Amino acid sequence: MEAVDAWERYARRRTPRREFNASGARTWLNWTQYPDHGPDESILGDVQCRSVLELGCGTGCNLAHLSTLGAICTGVDIAPSQLKKAVTRWGHLPRLTFHTAEATDYLSCTAGQFDVVLSVFGPVWFTDPAQLLPLIRKRLSPGGVLAFSHKPPTAGGVQPTGTLREARAVTRWDHTPREWSAVLTSFGFSDIRAEIISPPAGKDTGTLLVKAYT
């Protein structure tokens, strides 16, 4: 499958996340493309005992952090090699399960119900919202939250940069905060907050962060 190959190429070029962050923590959630920058998991609310699904979890580092906070975590990624890395690094943690699957396939087949669905530079950026958002909404509990991040769109559109070039076969659904608000509203989400997080000093690209409720 073209998408699997593209994401396997991407996975091969990624360097593993550091063992500790700048604060000395072994696990953390990073919404942005920059280390030690941006909001943490608190934007999701208290995750203890809540069921959390991450779409495009990669090597599982964000989800591992939520597991240490008491969440019941499921990670899904299309690239089989990512699952191997996730299990090798985080398989010892409790309440943490990883699956190799395409996001819409997983959501179509699972009977699971989730309090939180998140996607960090993941399939929400790479999948037609008309296909993905109804599937996510169906699997979210009443009052459940969807949160995702990706790079903001650039005027005129740009080709993927950096390591994302390896996944160039992949289409991106680039939307501004205002466009995401309209799209999410049209699929029944509410209390939508869509914003651009400023980049750290010396960088010029921020991060688009979106949160919406069922």
Ligand X SMILES: C[S@@+](CC[C@H](N)C(=O)[O-])C[C@H]1O[C@@H](n2cnc3c(N)ncnc32)[C@H](O)[C@@H]1O
Among 51, 68, 82, 207, binds ligand X (CB under 6 A): 82
135 binds ligand X (CB under 6 A): no
What the block records as the tokens of 141 is 């509990």
- In degrees and rounded to multiples of 5, residue 111 shows phi and psi of -100, 5
Which residues inside 41-80 make contact with ligand X, applying CB under 6 A? 55-58, 62, 76-79
Residue 160 gets which letter from DSSP? -
**CB of 133: closest distance to ligand X in angstroms?**
13
**CB of 3: closest distance to ligand X in angstroms?**
6
**CB of 61: closest distance to ligand X in angstroms?**
6
Q: Which residue is nearest to ligand X (CB)?
A: 56
Which residues inside 8-37 make contact with ligand X, applying CB under 6 A? none
Which of 127, 121, 150, 136 lies closest to 212, judged by CA? 136
Which of 78, 86, 138, 129 lies closest to 107, judged by CA? 138
Question: CA-to-CA distance for 73 and 123, rounded, in angstroms?
Answer: 17
Q: Residue 1 or 178: which CB sits closer to ligand X?
A: 1
With tokens 């005027």, the residue in question is 155
121 binds ligand X (CB under 6 A): yes
7 binds ligand X (CB under 6 A): yes
148 binds ligand X (CB under 6 A): no
129 binds ligand X (CB under 6 A): no
Q: Residue 15 or 142: which CB sits closer to ligand X?
A: 15
Q: Residue 191 or 200: which CB sits closer to ligand X?
A: 200
166 binds ligand X (CB under 6 A): no
Question: CA-to-CA distance for 190 and 202, rounded, in angstroms?
Answer: 35
Question: CA-to-CA distance for 9 and 93, rounded, in angstroms?
Answer: 27
127 binds ligand X (CB under 6 A): yes
**CB of 155: closest distance to ligand X in angstroms?**
22
Instruction: Name all contacts of 188-191 with Cβ < 8 Å and 24+ positions apart.
Output: 188/137, 188/214, 189/133, 189/137, 189/146, 189/213, 189/214, 190/214
CB atoms within 10 A of CB 210: 22
Residues 181, 159: contact at Cβ < 8 Å?
Answer: no
- Site of interaction with ligand X (CB under 6 A): 7, 55-58, 62, 76-79, 82, 102-103, 120-123, 126-127
